[in-house]
Amino acid sequence: MTGLVFGRVPTREGSMGMLDEARAGNDLYATFDTTEGQIVVKLFAKDAPKTVSSFVGLATGELPFQDPKTGEKTQRPYYDGIIFHRVIPGFMIQGGDPTGSGSGGPGFNVEDEYQSGRTFDKVGLLATANVGRPNTNGSQFFITTSKPTYLNNKHTIFGEVLSGYDVVEKIAGAPRDGRDCPRQDVVINKLTISTTQP
């Protein structure tokens, strides 16, 4: 895997794409339309600019990624149709893997961003999932249903749930198998990025 390269994304004359909005540190919101309901998250573009830029670019299709099925570089909304592949009541829900196995990603890594000093001091935080080593963040993320302070400075916190936390709890409580995967798929039908709070 290689590092993420940041450049300007071409858009229509006079308009900024969502990726450019993220890179500029502007307020952005992510709306997860799931099979269990809607979750709205405020993204921390100023606190975690590389992480938010990667997440936004993948969500909107502005950032290319390596298709895990074909191995080819492609560009389309990445998160649409992806499942929450790991749910643990009283801890978190995890998604962002197009293979649904917990080991898939976009073909690049994003470095850790802890400079904001944010900690897991409340529920409903959006953070990067990684493989337990520094700078191995890709496309996977989790939303907390607990305050796992032992994860401080191990996972980049890049957003907070503004509405739909009840949906997060509902997903976390879904019947699951021995690998903590929901027995019935919980799908992100569409992930939308906006400059105004829905």
Catalytic residue of the set 32, 55, 141, 142 = 142
First to last CA, the chain: 35
Q: Which residues contact 7 (CB under 8 A, 6 or more apart)?
A: none
Catalytic residue of the set 86, 109, 137, 141 = 86
Q: Which residues contact 163 (CB under 8 A, 6 or more apart)?
A: 38, 39, 40
Catalytic residue of the set 63, 85, 94, 125 = 94
Catalytic residue of the set 55, 58, 120, 130 = 130
Distance from C-alpha of 185 to C-alpha of 174, rounded to nearest angstrom: 10
Distances (CA, A) of 143 to 73, 94, 124: 28, 7, 6
Q: Assess whether 6 carries a catalytic annotation.
A: no
Catalytic residue of the set 151, 152, 162, 176 = 151
Q: Do 54 and 62 contact (CB within 8 A), yes or no?
A: no
Q: Do 191 and 33 contact (CB within 8 A), yes or no?
A: yes
Q: Assess whether 184 carries a catalytic annotation.
A: no
Q: Assess whether 86 carries a catalytic annotation.
A: yes
Catalytic residue of the set 23, 125, 155, 158 = 155
Q: Assess whether 108 carries a catalytic annotation.
A: no
Catalytic residue of the set 75, 91, 152, 176 = 91
Q: Assess whether 94 carries a catalytic annotation.
A: yes
What positions carry a catalytic annotation? 86, 91, 94, 130, 142, 151, 155
